[in-house]
Chain A
Amino acid sequence: MAKRYRNAGEITFDVFNYVVLGIIGIAAILPFLFVVAGSFATEAEITKRAVFLIPTTISLDAYRFIFSTDTIVRSIGVSLYVTVIGTAVNLFFTVTMAYPMAKRYLMGRNLILNLVIFTMLFGGGMIPTYLVIRELHLLDTLNALILPGAISAFNLIIVKNFFQELPAEMEEAARIDGCTELGLLWRIVLPLSKPVLATFTLFYAVGHWNNFFSALLYINDPSKWPLQVMLRQIVMLSQSAAGDLSSMDPNFVQPPEQSIKMAVIVVGTLPIMCVYPFLQKHFAKGVMLGSVKG
């Protein structure tokens, strides 16, 4: 389609458009690049220039410092645990509920569907939910980060709709061959739904990794803080719990505070960047699934 330039105005527009979009694209990731560069900086460099993309000397001191105690490592462990177990719980609850709800002949189906939709419209809110979590003795347990969000009503309805669209003939055939309901779900429906499940696995997993709100609400014990809470403590509240100078080589000079903070940010962002290619592949599909009406 590159054939139809008819005047200088169109060429000017195209040049302008490509440049502007290029700038926007770079602006989207530039802060990260600065942070990554800054995390390798030394005191001397930081006082010399404020921003840079390529540090003249690469120093790993900030990373050595933040990993000198187990504070960060432990919070990464918490985040990983919540992400892995939490996502498994999400998938289990979502699939087991979506499957029966996809059966049009199921008695009580409409009532349940309306119960679910109503929760998208109205909720008890922060305090009543908090009190329920407290009554269940989930405060200060990692289950408080997993169970209260076990199902997203929105995702549930999308998965239900997807199950509903699957060809009924295959199920009929399997049933005639003596397949049980559970066997049907496990052997026929789930394998057919792999792409959708992959999308929701990623959505749920990113949600868990990035979740700050639940931990703020339900976890007081610093040893159970996920990485997001720890990040805020170190970067925004400037609590230098990140490292311990006394445990290090006496010649070790404490790295500049800015570098330490940037190193913590890099550590917090890295896992997302690692799965980003997969996210890219699946997420747009997920958004489009979401726009299909229930």
Chain B
Amino acid sequence: MKQGAALGAAEVSAGTSFRRSRREQRFRRLKRDKWLYILLSPGLLYFLLFKYVPMWGVLLAFKDYQPFLGFWKSSWVGLEHFRTFFQNPDFFMLLRNTLVLSLYNLVFFFPAPIILALLLNEVRLSFYKRTVQTLIYVPHFISMVIVASISYVFLTTQGGAVNEFLYTVTGRKIDFLANPDWFRPMIILQTIWKECGWGTIIFLAALAGVDVEQYEAAVVDGASRWRQTWHITLPAIRSTIVILLILRMGTILDNGFEQIYLMMNALNREVAEVFDTYVYALGITQGAFSYSTAVGLFKSVIGVVLVLGTNWLAKKSGESGLY
């Protein structure tokens, strides 16, 4: 009995001295690396202030925020804002517009860089290939405002080149900018024009890694160019395609605020409004902070679930995944 107690005491004291020495060790490491921690501090402060404080600010979604009361004194309302949002017909409009735009994007935009990269890959004259690449990368660096501005200048019914041309040919004009039927094609065309060329880079890099001997062997075996593409080139970029496809699925609720906002107006709003523009309109311009935070939070949470879900799917399918 006594012996046991003594043993226990010995263990405890050994534990504390062990702990103390670990604490000392930690302190020594902190002291040794103090310059590293000093270097780290501005960045860390940035993340805490501009990323983590707003993250904690999503609690606004469960409050009835009154600017004169401030964050702390505003009363809690629980899920009230979410209930309002789901009962609002706007909810289905936003969901539909977001999903339709993403679907269009997937069907019409996603394959475009792949096809373009395959075509470029067939070019043997490296000078020609480089020239085309230089040209098609340009629009990627242009701001969305410029892209939208150019669209306006050409598509407007008041002297826009496209409409002037239509008028001389058909005698009629089409108000592309205001007509809801033209909104989605316009957005997709802008995206293709702006990002298709840039999107080829990642596929061209994958293609550059293909062993030339494979093609030579295929030629010896009598494979045509088409068979070479099908059996050598396409398999080489398959995993890149899968990864990008999975990534795209994870961001299906993101339609790009700037582009939609710039091309939206009162006449095409019914097909244009998406979650982000809605949050902006209600939160920033109308001051409904709590409600719009709730809408934003809903979108973020679904977004996280989608990203993690698709990442899990990627790992399942034998790709390396992202996280």
A: residues with CB less than 8 A from B are 1-2, 4, 9-10, 13-14, 17-18, 20-22, 24-29, 31-32, 34-35, 38, 46, 50-51, 92-94, 96-97, 99-101, 103, 106-107, 112, 115-117, 119, 121-132, 136, 147-148, 150-151, 156, 180-182, 185, 206, 209-213, 216-217, 228-229, 231-232, 235-236, 256-258, 261-262, 264-265, 268-269, 272, 276, 279-280, 283-284, 287-288, 291, 293
Contacts and interface: CB of A to CB of B under 8 A. Distances in A.
Given A28-B193, A100-B40, A181-B36, A128 B55 contact: yes
Contact of B54 (A10, A18, A25, A128): A128
Contact of B141 (A107, A206, A229): A206
Interface string B289-314: 10011001101100010011000000
A218 to B, nearest CB: 10
Contacts of B29: 107
Nearest to A184: B35
A29 B50 contact: no
Interface residues of B, number: 90
Contact of A236 (B49, B148, B293): B148
Nearest to B265: A236
Interface stretch (B87-95, B97-105, B128-136): B128-136
A129 B46 contact: no
B86 interface: no
A181 B35 contact: yes
Given A13-B225, A106-B33, A185 B39 contact: yes
Main secondary structure on chain A at its contact with chain B? helix
Contacts of A126: 276, 279-280, 283-284, 292, 296
Contacts of B289: 127, 131
Nearest to B297: A125
Interface of B: 26, 29-30, 33, 35-37, 39-40, 42-44, 46-47, 49-58, 60, 71, 116, 119-120, 122-124, 128, 131-132, 134-139, 141-146, 148-150, 152-154, 158-161, 164-165, 168, 193, 197, 201-202, 205, 219, 224-225, 257-258, 261-262, 276, 279-280, 283-284, 289, 292-293, 296-297, 299-300, 304, 307-308, 320, 322-323
Nearest to A133: B50
Nearest to A235: B149
